Amino acid sequence: MLKNKVILIIGGTAGFGKHVAMLAAQKGANLIIVGRNKEKLDSVKAELQQYGNQVEGHTLDVSKEEDLKKFFDSIGKIDHLVSTAGGFMGGGFLDAALETILKTIHDKLFINLRIARLAASHLKANGSMVFTAGSGGKPNNASGAIIGNDAIRTMVQGLAVEVAPRARINAVAPTWTRTSLYRDIPEEEVDQTQKLFSGMIPLGRTANISEVAMTYIFLMENSFITGQTIVVDGGLTLV
């Protein structure tokens, strides 16, 4: 169902975004990949081209509003958009720096809202956008991230009504998953975090990247789902 579709993936050079791109390429999609690092972008682009599909690569810092606007002005119509924009944080409302909380909320909600507003006019009929929320944290230990994730859920609900019936808006909410997002953290610390989450998740382990990535594919392909946030957390939010 994605064969010859044009899919724009913001954050497509690493982590969930890269794996979504690989799965989409295997299904015959044409890709527009956006990343911040040109060297990494060129490497991923070459990797994806082995599937024989069209792959465009664009270096872009999506936090820069004017650059983001120029980028959307430069592209044509797309069938689907995937955004993994946004980061993570630790700390509660009192012990985390206020600047960290504000930046986390901004990067999660307002950057994605800006992306949605610009992308809306570029979506073909029956197209979709899939954003990235998150699950598994608590307000007292991931304050700004919790607000941002909840805001993404609210945003997709509103956007889904606004763009219907010509397009759909959804989100994926994974819990902690070992990805390149944690590349700057010592490996021993990442191992400890993975062990901690594995002990809390009812399925007894954390997800692999492909298990999360296939949820984005599902939301692009299923044309009767909109306004939803699918939680991919092994049952963590149930306990």
CATH number at residue 94: 3.40.50.720
Residue type, 46: A
63 CB-contact burial (10 Å; exposed 0-12 / middle 13-18 / buried 19+) = middle
- What are the Cα distances from residue 78, in Å, to 50, 123, 215? 22, 5, 20
pLDDT in the model for residue 205: 98
> Is the peptide bond between 174 and the residue preceding it cis, with omega within 30 degrees of 0?
no
Q: pLDDT 10s per residue in the chain (239 long)?
A: 999 999 999 999 999 999 999 999 999 999 999 999 999 999 999 999 999 899 999 999 999 999 999 999 999 999 999 999 998 899 999 999 999 999 999 999 999 999 999 999 999 999 999 999 999 889 999 999 999 999 999 999 999 999 999 999 999 999 999 988 788 889 999 999 999 999 999 999 999 999 999 999 999 999 999 999 999 999 999 99
Q: What span, in angstroms and rounded, lies between the C-alpha atoms of 110 and 104? A: 10
Distances (CA, A) of 115 to 30, 83, 122, 124: 20, 8, 11, 16
Determine, yes or no, domain membership for 141. yes
Q: Specify which residues 83 forms β-bridges with.
A: 10
Total domains present in the chain: 1
Instruction: Flag whether 160 is in a domain.
Output: yes
Would 231 be classed as within a structural domain? yes
- Whether 1 maps to a domain, the answer reads no
User: Does residue 54 lie within any of the structural domains?
Assistant: yes
For tokens 């009767």, the residue is 224
Long-range CB contact pairs, 86-89, < 8 A, 24+:
86/111, 86/112, 86/132, 86/148, 86/152, 87/145, 87/181, 88/134, 88/142, 88/145, 88/181, 89/142, 89/143, 89/144, 89/145
In a domain, 73, yes or no: yes
User: Range of 165's domain?
Assistant: 6-238
Domain membership of residue 56 (yes or no) is: yes
In a domain, 158, yes or no: yes
